[in-house]
Amino acid sequence: MQVILTAVGPDNRGLADPIVHYVSGAGANISEIQMYDHDQERVFAMLVRMDWPVERESVAELRRRMRQIGSAKGLSIRTWSRDEHDRPPRLAICVTFRPEPALAVLRAVHDKRLHATPAVVIGNREACHGVAEQFHIDWHCIGDPAGNPDNDRLVELLDEYDVDYIVLARYMRVLPASTCWRFAGGRIINLHHGLLPSFPGPTPYQDAYEHRMLTYGATVHFIVPELDAGNQIIHQSTFTVAHGTPLDEILRIGQSDHEPECLVEGLRRVLEHEIELHFHRVVRSNRATAGL
């Protein structure tokens, strides 16, 4: 069974050793290790992806052991496997102003086009509170009056709701690196309202319009720590407009119709295990290769 461990905490000596020693001694086949050690910030972060021998030890027991190591070393360690539970993956949907992407995901779940459970909707603004109410899903606002999020509270909620995947459905705030590391390994999925890598940033429609583009689009990609450049693309789609189409109409098409559809398709690819994230690269999953 594939298991991902993430560890985050104050930098110190010998933090990785007990983790690697325990899992290798238990017979795990380690396929990926990434470490971040920033002396200036004194932050340590680590990801381990491995095939875990569940016939010898359950994931729950591994989680307990990792918590013991984390307590001894001052690390926040998370143990996650998408296949641990016989239930649909649990989603946290993060939003700011625009409701359409979140609505599209919730409707796709309701219509059984997405095999998942929306566990919670989290906003840094109150604008999408009604979306959660419409689908009878718990709502939490983590933003101050200016919309600045409480990122510690965000992490608390993701743990509290036992979330498998975090869906940034036009969530217009950058996640701090520490949060990205805590849920690294392909668990954070972002909708960018433009074609990457050509049009990054907060105004991709306007930027493409200024370049007199006739083709616009959206990108669904994994968020990775320290490298949120959108290169970890899950799915992209485009739409074409006639010459002279005003920007307001382009925005209407993109925001109301195109972006939501792109997000649903990208999320489907993740939930149905068509693709995975390995070493910051999107690859076809073993399940897809085996036709499972």
Per the listing, tokens 């085996």 go with 290
Beta strand 76-80 with 117-123 is unpaired
What is the percentage of the chain residues whose pLDDT exceeds 70?
Answer: 95
β-pair partners for 35:
46
φ, ψ for residue 262, nearest 5 deg: -65, -45
* Residue 41: predicted pLDDT: 63
How many residues does the structure list for the chain?
292
Query: Tokens standing for 69?
Result: 């190591």
Query: Tokens standing for 254?
Result: 């993109």
Tens of pLDDT, residues 11-61: 888 899 999 999 999 999 999 999 887 656 678 999 999 999 999 999 999
* Residue 208: predicted pLDDT: 97
Choosing from 37, 144, 152, 228, the catalytic residue is 228
DSSP letters spanning 200-226: -SS-HHHHHHHTT-SEEEEEEEE--TT
14: helix, strand or coil: coil
Q: Which of 230, 226, 217, 128 is nearest to 169 (CA)?
A: 128
Tens of pLDDT, residues 189-220: 999 999 999 999 999 999 999 999 999 999 99
DSSP conformation class of 112: T
Q: Which domains does the chain have, with CATH numbers?
A: 2-80 (3.30.70.260), 90-284 (3.40.50.170)
* Residue 292: predicted pLDDT: 47
Separation of alpha carbons 150 and 83, rounded Å: 30
Contact at 8 Å (CB) between 80 and 187? Answer: yes
Separation of alpha carbons 253 and 176, rounded Å: 31
Residues of the chain with pLDDT under 70: 38-41, 226-231, 287-292
Beta strand 117-123 with 188-192 is unpaired
Contact at 8 Å (CB) between 78 and 5? Answer: yes
Contact at 8 Å (CB) between 12 and 75? Answer: no
* Residue 226: predicted pLDDT: 65
228 in catalytic set: yes
pTM for the full predicted model: 0.94
β-pair partners for 37:
44
Separation of alpha carbons 253 and 208, rounded Å: 14
